[in-house]
Amino acid sequence: MQPNLYHVLGAKQFSRAELDDLFEASKRMEEVVRAGGNRSHEGRIMTTLFFEASTRTRLSFESAMSRLGGSVIGTENAAQFSSAIKGETLEDTIRIVTGYSDVIVIRHTDIGAAKRAAAVAGVPVINAGDGAGEHPTQALLDAYTIQKEMSRIDGVRIAMVGDLAYGRTVHSLSYILANYKDVMIYYISPDNVRIPSSVKRYMEERGVRYEETTDLNAVAGSIDVLYQTRIQKERFPSLEEYEKASGQYIVDEELLSRMQKNAIVMHPLPRAGEITEGVDSDPRAAYFRQAQNGLYIRMALIDKCLKGV
């Protein structure tokens, strides 16, 4: 890995000081967007290589680069429409794309794919999701959303709900939250998709309080943030396992009525029925504002990558 490059590969790489700086930079990017964008990265090119489906991550990265005056090349279905289908290795693809662009954003099916890419890249690599592994830029926008909505992250009480085994966003968000004081995490999931022991071990090493439970109703009234996730059908080994996990936790108006008046509901999206549309009009429904924050965070990350370490 070239030492002068700034990659975004996993959430553990961020310190509290870096998070504070990034959130300040993201706030400035909100101003840039309000002013119609700038030309700060005119002439620079970003490649998006998406081997898995995406709406928010790919389009917000592409919008972010455009808002900074840069250009975008890429493929939204790299598994079929890049030469991966002819047998080209990920490493060779990255070696080639390095010659065409200044930063690479990659989403891949395999855990560790972004790290493999960074090992051979001559430009910064940003992990836009690696299978069931991590989704660090999502976690950064999630933490930024909590800070904006609650005016703090220290002391926050958060319930992460749903598919905690394959849900890469909750892995990365846990690692980010480990930088903050007095955080309490409730991991609430069906039995067959519990939070991995590797995540729990990291929380223990960092002294983060957490509790595993299956009872969302029991904690709904005492939390600041309800972070709902989709049960990801596409990641289960069998339909039977998926059906065991699906439909158990639905955020609806009844559940919302038990939550605190200043609590928020978040979701990385897309949703597939686990938050009813009746919740959308409640001011505590923060998930669309959360998705919008992805633009500002990704502008700040692109800016950081292009400026280098």
* Interface residue with ligand CP, options 48, 101, 127, 138 (CB under 6 A): 138
Query: CA torsion 88→92→98→103, rounded to 10°?
Result: 70
Contact between 168 and 132 (Cβ < 8 Å) = yes
**Where is 111: in which H helix or E strand?**
none
* Interface residue with ligand CP, options 47, 57, 93, 246 (CB under 6 A): 57
The verdict on 269 binding ligand CP (CB under 6 A) reads: yes
SS3 51: coil
Point out the catalytic residue in the list 7, 41, 44, 56.
Answer: 56
Question: Residue 65 CA to chain centroid, in angstroms?
Answer: 18
Residue 269 beta carbon to ligand CP: minimum distance, rounded to whole angstroms? 5
Quick note: the x/- pattern for ligand CP over 12-41, rule CB under 6 A, is: ------------------------------
Distance CA 182, CA 139 (A): 18
> Total residues contacting ligand CP (rule CB under 6 A)?
9
Taken as a whole, the chain contains a residue count of: 309
Nearer to ligand CP, 184 or 293 (CB): 293
Question: Is 108 annotated as catalytic?
Answer: no
**Which range binds ligand CP by CB under 6 A, 15-23, 50-58, 201-209, 247-255?**
50-58
* Angle at 38 (CA atoms; ends 33, 40), nearest 5 degrees: 130
Point out the catalytic residue in the list 107, 148, 168, 230.
Answer: 107
Distance CA 141, CA 290 (A): 7
CA neighbor of 267 nearest in space, from 245, 293, 241, 247:
293
Question: Is 57 annotated as catalytic?
Answer: yes
Buried b / exposed e over 139-157, threshold 16 CB at 10 Å, is bbbbbbbbbbbbeebeebb
The verdict on 54 binding ligand CP (CB under 6 A) reads: yes
* Interface residue with ligand CP, options 41, 44, 56, 67 (CB under 6 A): 56
The verdict on 257 binding ligand CP (CB under 6 A) reads: no
What backbone torsions phi and psi does residue 120 show, to the nearest 5 degrees?
-115, -5
3-state secondary structure 224-238: CEEEECCCCHHHCCC
Distance CA 73, CA 48 (A): 6
**Which range binds ligand CP by CB under 6 A, 25-33, 192-200, 227-235, 262-270?**
262-270
Point out the catalytic residue in the list 48, 57, 137, 145.
Answer: 57
Contact between 231 and 189 (Cβ < 8 Å) = no
The verdict on 55 binding ligand CP (CB under 6 A) reads: yes
Quick note: the x/- pattern for ligand CP over 170-189, rule CB under 6 A, is: --------------------
The verdict on 80 binding ligand CP (CB under 6 A) reads: no
Question: Is 28 annotated as catalytic?
Answer: no
**Helices 136-150 and 16-34, packing angle to 10 deg:** 80
Nearer to ligand CP, 54 or 75 (CB): 54
Residue 54 beta carbon to ligand CP: minimum distance, rounded to whole angstroms? 3
Question: Is 107 annotated as catalytic?
Answer: yes
Residue 282 beta carbon to ligand CP: minimum distance, rounded to whole angstroms? 21
**Which range binds ligand CP by CB under 6 A, 53-61, 93-101, 148-156, 217-225?**
53-61
Question: Is 86 annotated as catalytic?
Answer: yes
**Applying CB under 6 A, which residues contact ligand CP?**
54-57, 129, 138, 268-270
- The catalytic residue positions are 56-57, 86, 107, 135
